[in-house]
Amino acid sequence: MTAITLRQKLAILSDAAKYDASCASSGAAKRNSLKSGGIGSTEGSGICHSYAPDGRCISLLKILLTNFCIYDCSYCINRSSSNVRRARFTVDEVVQLTLDFYKRNYIEGLFLSSGVIRSPDETMGEMVEIARRLREEHRFGGYIHLKTIPECAPELLEKAGRHADRLSINVELPTDEGVNRLAPEKKPETIRISMARLRSKIEEKSEPTMRTKTRERFAPGGQSTQMIIGADASPDATILKSSARLYSSYRLRRVYYSAFSPIPDSSSALPLKNPPLMREHRLYQADWLMRFYGFEQDEILSGRPDGMLDLAVDPKLAWAIGNRAMFPVDVNRADRENLLRVPGLGTRAVGRILDTRRYRRLRLEDVGRLCQSITKVRPFIVAEGWTPGALTDSANLRARLAPAPVQMELF
């Protein structure tokens, strides 16, 4: 067998990493290289340097250190029973690739995860060493996201947090039963306890220390997690309930939903079908409603006895159609909370409505100029010179507002 080239390793180990949905490089503390004379900066919102034809942002060099793994999670392309080709980067190779890509402005930084080889500590130790070398030896100021191995030693976690902007641990599936069935070697309890540990570390380090009065750096971009959607039978209600629990328990920045996607060499334990992309999209929308629009998890699915989000219309519109007694809302008087419930009005549009109406009464046209599209908004608001009349309660409202089914995209 000939030795595997760097290019082949990169192909294998980025292919292995692509099922992780997160590529975010946002939320880091502001940082640049003016003082250090190195390279790298993070300035709040991350940058997507490219887009693949799957519509996903490419912001980070998202790779595995190795795809050898002692676990056998049936949804994962790297499970120990998979016949996928295996490879392993050296620490140097990852450091060099990150720097080479960064210097050409291909990426914002590195998102490193790994299969577990030999022991969790050994694997995590190498990941931490990569982050340390980038920061300390190469004065690298770009974004670093490390996927933490739940079973690793606390000292390693501490070091990881010192160098990384974000740490994450995947809960993998919405329920413990799902994990037990599809990832039998993983312990949901251990995953939860690791997330709890991360939360306490992040909180502890965000307090200035008694002695130096400065804050120690520890994962300023917080922690996030990912759930696979559609690999088990959990309905959306269960998924959103898990998210609400995770956000409140571990102060996560984000919960990512990853539609289960067929993998080469799949396991018989799993559905072989195209990934439920629309479902994934609706879950993200519902997640936003919980985080930014003041919706409770059980409200979002109140009108859905099967516990599944409506795939044809977005969850806010679905909620409004099911709760028409709350509408119409008067854009010239309603408070922020109620305006946020209006379909088609985002947080920005609501802010601008509140600003503008201090100086003039808003007509329907004005609202139209402040939001993306008035069609969805119209039946749910009263404005100067406009009442929706019977429109709000019309029987075919849903049909009218539901977008036409999307065609297969042609290129």
Partner 1 sequence: MAAIARSLPRMTVKLAGQTDLDGWRTAARALAMKGVPADQVGWTIAGNASADLFAGTDHAASEALPGADSTTFTVPRAFVELAETVVCHRDPERFALLYRVLYRLREEPHLMKIGSDTDVRRLEAMAKSVRRDIHKMRAFVRFRRIGGGPDDRHVAWFEPDHFIVEANAPFFVRRFTGMRWTILTPLASADWDGTRLTIGPGATKTDAPSEDDAETLWRTYFASIFNPARLKVKAMQAEMPKRYWRNLPEASLIPDMIRGAEEKAREMVEKQPSEPAPHHAKIQARHWPAPPAGDSTTQDGADARTLAELSRTAESCRRCDLWRDATQTVFGEGPAPARVVFVGEQPGDHEDIAGKPFVGPAGRLLDGVLVEAGVDRDAVYVTNAVKHFKFEPRGKRRIHARPNAGEVKACRWWLDHELALIRPDLAVALGATAAQSLLGKPVAITKLRGQVIVRDDGLRVFLTVHPSYLLRIPDPADRDAEHGRFLADMKAVKALMG
Site for partner 1 in 18-57 (CB under 8 A): 18-19, 32-34, 36-41, 43, 47-57
Considering only residues 59 to 118 of the shown chain, the ones binding partner 1 according to CB under 8 A are 61-62, 70, 72, 80-83, 97, 100-101, 103-106
- Taking the least distance from each CB to partner 1, the nearer of 132 and 251 is 251
Residue 294 Cβ vs partner 1, minimum distance, rounded to whole Å: 9
31: DSSP letter? B
Could you tell me how many residues of this chain bind partner 1 (CB under 8 A)?
94
Residue 386 exposed, middle or buried by CB count within 10 Å (0-12, 13-18, 19+): middle
Is residue 372 part of the contact set for partner 1 (CB under 8 A)? no
Q: Which of 16-24, 126-134, 155-163, 223-231 is the region at the interface with partner 1 (rule: CB under 8 A)?
A: 16-24
DSSP assignment of 61-103 equals EEEESB---S---TT-TT-TT------B--HHHHHHHHHHHHH
- Nearest CA among 204, 208, 195, 197 for reference residue 242: 195
Is residue 348 within a helix (H) or strand (E), and if so which, with residue range? helix 347-356
Considering only residues 222 to 251 of the shown chain, the ones binding partner 1 according to CB under 8 A are 244-245, 247-249, 251
- Taking the least distance from each CB to partner 1, the nearer of 105 and 396 is 105
Is residue 373 part of the contact set for partner 1 (CB under 8 A)? no
How many other C-beta atoms can be found within 10 angstroms of the C-beta atom of residue 286?
A: 26
| CA 64/CA 293 separation, integer angstroms | 36
Residue 197 exposed, middle or buried by CB count within 10 Å (0-12, 13-18, 19+): middle
Considering only residues 263 to 322 of the shown chain, the ones binding partner 1 according to CB under 8 A are 263-268, 272-275, 277, 290-291, 297
Residue 297 Cβ vs partner 1, minimum distance, rounded to whole Å: 7
| CA 210/CA 115 separation, integer angstroms | 39
- Taking the least distance from each CB to partner 1, the nearer of 71 and 394 is 71
- Taking the least distance from each CB to partner 1, the nearer of 198 and 397 is 198
Q: Give the angle 163-168-174 at the CA atoms, nearest 5°.
A: 175
Residue 389 Cβ vs partner 1, minimum distance, rounded to whole Å: 23
- Taking the least distance from each CB to partner 1, the nearer of 103 and 215 is 103
